[in-house]
Structure 1
């Protein structure tokens, strides 16, 4: 039962973002758009409730339940950033806002380390939810899939740390078109 709810929640998350941005920029109702965007985290609450109800009704935990915990953890840690990412692009394309900045060099490395912190938060929330679900069910036989899943988020964190180290040691270089864009914007500022 939980896997379809996860899929529905992911779709619901992006529908809430699309509706909020449509209200903000398409209908020119920034407050209404902000309210709808603020409702996107409600999706996480729905998923958590569905997971708890399913396990409390006697279901044996599967990887779907563990995936629900991971989805919630990463949504909490990265949700605001994903909304901001979409907002900048929609504002640029439909309202003439500033173009999204493509980071490189030390700025990109700092952004990677900020992602490490977000991933650490996501891992902590995920493992905390998994441990909470194990305690809630109170039956090690029924929660074996949850305890087996606990190391998986740590692997994601390790990959994120390696990527941050890599971009710190070997900074990301700007693309040629990014260099041209920076030169043309600098020239227009001088004029």
Structure 2
């Protein structure tokens, strides 16, 4: 059931986002568009409420509960940038806006973008960990584990360990080894 709620939340996010952009650029209803964009966080709150209600009513914590908490953290951290990304492309396609520009690989802007993205991951993981901690300790009344083995036995605590690994891998695959190359510096 939680899996369906996560899929529903993701679909609702994109449907509301597209409808808000249609209102803004095609229908020229900026206020209605703003209301639609303000509804995006409400979708996340509904998903969190659904997870809490499910756990309060006695459902055993499942990986889907943990994934929902992670989903919430990542949508809060990346929601604004995803909305901006979609807005730029929609404005270009339907309202004569400028073509979205991607920084050249190896440029200072590209390296900066990698660091900003990774910092969003850190924020997403921090928010997810807070939600998971609240679900585990307050809602499910699970004790804090004292070892990785204990953490792995609970989907909620185990997800925190997994999120830590995702953060490290994202860092190593992204900004850790990114450097400004001389060819992009010389072409400026």
* Structure 1 stretches of 4+ moved >6 Å: none
CA distance in 1 between counterparts of 2:119 and 2:175 reads: 11
Q: CA deviation digits over 1:147-174, x for unaligned, max 9?
A: 111111112211221111222266896x
SS of equivalent residue, structure 1 residue 53: helix
CA distance in 2 between counterparts of 1:170 and 1:152 reads: 33
Note closer, same or farther for the CA distance 1:53–1:160 as it changes in structure 2 (3 Å cut).
Answer: same
1:111 aligns with 2:103: no
1:34 aligns with 2:34: yes
Note closer, same or farther for the CA distance 1:76–1:59 as it changes in structure 2 (3 Å cut).
Answer: same
Note the C-alpha offset of 1:28: 0.9
Q: CA deviation digits over 1:32-51, x for unaligned, max 9?
A: 11110111111110000000
Q: Which residue of 2 aligns with 1:74?
A: 74
Indicate conservation of the 8 Å contact 1:115/1:160, yes or no. no
1:145 aligns with 2:155: yes
Q: Which residue of 1 aligns with 2:147?
A: none
Indicate conservation of the 8 Å contact 1:73/1:125, yes or no. yes
- TM-score scaled by length of structure 2: 0.86
Q: Which residue of 2 aligns with 1:87?
A: 87
1:164 aligns with 2:166: no
- Structure 2 regions of 5+ residues with no counterpart? 144-149
What is the aligned-residue RMSD (CA, Å)? 2.1
Note closer, same or farther for the CA distance 1:59–1:160 as it changes in structure 2 (3 Å cut).
Answer: same
Instruction: Say how many residue pairs are matched.
Output: 174
- Structure 1 regions of 5+ residues with no counterpart? 174-178, 180-191
Note closer, same or farther for the CA distance 1:116–1:23 as it changes in structure 2 (3 Å cut).
Answer: same
CA distance in 2 between counterparts of 1:172 and 1:10 reads: 40
SS of equivalent residue, structure 1 residue 86: helix
Indicate conservation of the 8 Å contact 1:2/1:65, yes or no. yes
CA distance in 2 between counterparts of 1:18 and 1:34 reads: 12
Indicate conservation of the 8 Å contact 1:116/1:160, yes or no. yes
